[in-house]
Amino acid sequence: MTTRVGFIGLGHMGAPMCARIVGAGFSVTAFDLAPAALAVAVLEGAQAAGSAAECAQAADVLITMLPGPPQVEDVLLGSGGALAAMRKGSLAVDMSTSSPALGRRIVDAAASHGVAFIDAPVADALKAREGDLHIFAGGRAADVAVARPVLEAMGKPDRVVHVGPHGAGYTVKLLVNLQWFVHAAAAAEALAVGTRAGIDADTLYTAFAAGPARSSFLENEALEVLRDGEYGERFPLGLVTKDLGLALDLAHDSGVPAELSAVTQGLYHQALDKYGSAAGEMAVVRLYEDFAGTPLRLLHANGR
């Protein structure tokens, strides 16, 4: 029997994720508040639902991929009514970047309806269309096993990782994002200082990317700025600052001082104030370009 999947949230990430599930042969019903996004999903083989609750009613596995905790809460627990509409024995999977605190409330609400729940946020936005996402699943092992065939339509088996109990997926994802944002700010600062000190960007990039300070950011996303002049608008700065706020909340709750994270958050808020919420996730590089008074660009075709 084919697993029936409901998919709510067809944005920049959700749309290609939904398409991957359809392409893997699952029966998919989709919903989004944006009619145009829903129309695209239908063209790719999904059935359209008229509401979040309708999308959830017939699903064996319901996936939500939403901008943040307020939307997740509204769809699953609030006016969307999705969780209450699900059948007993079905499974809800939230793949949004959200908070462990909200996750605990969803677990309790799901249990009261006889529904299982796991949090399974994702990383590597550029690889959503190729089905090569990293997926961090938190919840009971048996529930993760039920979700795994659907999750593996979006991420390769070795990239779908059960990281712990409920909330662990949210936690790991927030910390992965936090490290990436810190790496981006640190690389931008070092490049700006080096440029102002008289070293060309090509030489700096070669030294950084090949040496002990190399990082995934330098080897991949940084080239979008340094080579192409793009700042990652696919992931807007408003969501970056949201994720940073959630990560700082997590640090506060853990009792661990997060001074480096707080400085990084301050830099991204400067970029937000200067460029607006629609600016890209690498607007912090643009901020350092403004500090240095010069764009950071490679003169030669370095990198991939």
Q: 247-293 pLDDT, tens per residue?
A: 999 999 999 999 999 999 999 999 999 999 999 999 999 999 999 99
Residue 12 and residue 125 share a domain: yes
How is residue 199 written in tokens?
Answer: 């070293």
Six-digit token string for 169? 């997926």
pLDDT greater than 60 at residue 303: no
| Number of folded domains that form the chain | 2
Domain match, 14 and 129 both: yes
* Residue 101 and residue 22 share a domain: yes
Q: What is the pLDDT of residue 137?
A: 98
**Chosen domain end from 138, 165, 192:** 165
Q: Which of 125, 149, 165 is the last residue in one of the domains?
A: 165
Residues spanned by the domain of 226: 172-292
Q: Using one digit for the tens of pLDDT, what is the confidence trace for 122-144?
A: 998 778 889 999 999 999 999 99
The answer on pLDDT for 1 being more than 60 is no
Q: What percent of the chain has pLDDT over 70?
A: 98
Determine the pLDDT at residue 300.
80
Does residue 224 lie within any of the structural domains? yes
Task: Give residue-wise pLDDT tens across range 29-69.
Answer: 999 999 999 999 999 999 999 999 999 998 999 999 999 99
Dist CA 134 CA 260 (whole Å): 25
Question: What's the CATH code of the domain at 60?
Answer: 3.40.50.720
Q: CATH number for the domain including 211?
A: 1.10.1040.10
pLDDT at residue 15 tops 50: yes
Are residues 14 and 139 located together in one domain of the fold? yes
Q: Which of 97, 132, 165 is the last residue of a domain?
A: 165
Provide the annotated active-site residues: 173
Q: Nearest 5°: CA angle at 124, between 108 and 71?
A: 35
